[in-house]
Amino acid sequence: MTREARKKGKPELLAPGGSLEKCRIAFLYGADAVYVGGKSFSLRAFATNLDEEELQKACALAHSLQKKLYVTVNVYPRQHEVQSLIKYLRTLEDIGVDAIIVTDPGTMLLAGKHAPSIPIHLSTQANTTNSLSVHFWEKQGVRRINLARELTFGEIKGIREQSSMELEVFVHGAMCVSYSGRCLLSAAMSARSANSGECSQPCRWSYGLMEEKRPGQYFPILEDSMGTYIFNSKDLCLLEKMGNLMAVGLDSFKIEGRMKGALYLAAVTRAYRQAIDSHWQNPEAFVASQAWITDLSRISHRPYTMGFTFSQNEDNWVGVDFETPIIKTHTLAGIVRQALPMPSAKPSLLFSVLLEARSRLFKGQTIEFLFPDGNTIPFRLDEFHDEEGNTLQVAHPNMKIHFATPFRPLKLQVARTLLSEGEAARHNILP
């Protein structure tokens, strides 16, 4: 396919799936494709990840929806892991996943031999920063390249103009202080290798400054009451620049976050789905909706930045936030497990909802249901019951509760609720 022909197609929205349930949620909220990790050879070893049976189910689900499933095989394998890697690649070949995401050239060679029908996507950790590298990887059989996060918009545009290969960029999520995410801090400080998927995130730890001849005396470096976060990178958010990125003719926009929760996944996927569709329908009139921006402010996140892509000449170009570990104003209230029509004496309450609570919920509390089409409907919990029909005043996490609504929620739909000031203070997470 030529570059000109590809520009005529709508770019893909690629969302993370840290579990089988998260795959389902990502597809519900508009992802065209989901990337997941198996139980081995993935750079998110502490995510739930998917076993072989779950990979089969996720792949079947994606194909039933005319969508795609990609599997990360992006560790740097050690010599003793080669035979296990060969077996794993053969398993992925049998399952029929739509692509594997790799970094290591040796893994690439093995994939070509033992999983020849699966397209290879090159991870951002390969730090592809120019069109010559793109052409090199193309000759090695790579189908798509996730470009390095260190690139500016002008550099991305220049690479696009010089190549007809599939190109992908990250548009949202956590960033790393190390070059293309290849970090040795974790291995050095906690004997857990980030390049094997076991990062302990020492860049998120609190640090102090100590002078050699003054042991035990710690000096502040822009310190707040919680500590000093001299390596604490901000979160990437390119939502407001989607018009620029869409115009370049990129093939895929990727959301980071296989370790993130259901609220993050639903809200972020929904926002970028709306942005892509809006620009596609009317490029000239595209403006990022305030509703999308608000949605992204209501998930747990670090202060946002446009990273290297757009921020060099702006006041917010610095990618590290020294004082704020995380911002959280809302939390996941629960996930809808069932919603059925009901005969009701109250005409305004038409559907019986079964919600699996993920936070403490109280009588009189308002929760908001996030619909995939962009609508958000608030609902006050004036009355709810447990599974035995007992009226409750409070529901605890993982408890399933029943209540009636005048609208029909969707199975696996996410609901959020506002944290009280006291809850936020206890978490020590408000700026």
Is the pLDDT confidence value at 396 over 50? yes
Is the pLDDT confidence value at 313 over 70? no
3-state secondary structure of 388: coil
Non-local (6+) Cβ contacts of 289 within 8 A are: 274, 275, 278
Describe the crossing of helices 20-28 and 52-64 by its angle, rounded to 10 degrees. Answer: 10
User: How many alpha carbons lie under 13 Å from residue 153 in its C-beta half-sphere?
Assistant: 18
Specify the pLDDT at position 405. Answer: 95
pLDDT band at 174 (very low <50, low <70, confident <90, very high): confident
Is the pLDDT confidence value at 208 over 70? no
304-305 vs 235-237, strand pairing mode: parallel
Per-residue pLDDT tens for 348-386? 779 999 999 999 999 999 999 999 999 999 999 999 999
Per-residue pLDDT tens for 89-137? 999 999 999 999 999 999 999 999 999 999 999 999 999 999 999 999 9
Specify the pLDDT at position 325. Answer: 64
Q: What is the pTM of this model?
A: 0.87
120-122 vs 99-102, strand pairing mode: parallel
Specify the pLDDT at position 225. Answer: 53
Specify the pLDDT at position 230. Answer: 60
Is the pLDDT confidence value at 6 over 60? no
pLDDT band at 75 (very low <50, low <70, confident <90, very high): confident
Is the pLDDT confidence value at 227 over 60? no
Q: Tell me the mean pLDDT in the region 286-309.
A: 93
Specify the pLDDT at position 92. Answer: 97
At 7, which amino acid appears?
K
Specify the pLDDT at position 116. Answer: 97
Query: Rounded to a whole number, what is the distance in angstroms from the first to the last CA of the chain?
Result: 48
Q: With DSSP H G I counted as helix, E B as strand and the rest as coil, what are the percentages for the chain, rounded to 5?
A: 35, 25, 45
Specify the pLDDT at position 212. Answer: 76
Non-local (6+) Cβ contacts of 198 within 8 A are: 45, 46, 186, 192
The share of the chain scoring above pLDDT 90, in percent, equals: 68
Q: Picking from 41-50, 140-149, 163-172, which range would have the lowest pLDDT averaged per residue? A: 41-50
pLDDT band at 428 (very low <50, low <70, confident <90, very high): very low
Q: Which domains does the chain have, with CATH numbers?
A: 3-177+233-310 (3.20.20.70), 330-427 (2.40.30.10)
Is the model more confident about 24 or about 187? 24
Per-residue pLDDT tens for 259-284? 899 999 999 999 999 999 999 999 99
* Backbone conformation region of residue 56, classed left if phi is above 0, alpha if psi is from -120 to 50, else beta: alpha
d(CA 328, CA 277): 28
pLDDT band at 2 (very low <50, low <70, confident <90, very high): very low
Q: What is the DSSP letter of 124?
A: G
Specify the pLDDT at position 228. Answer: 54
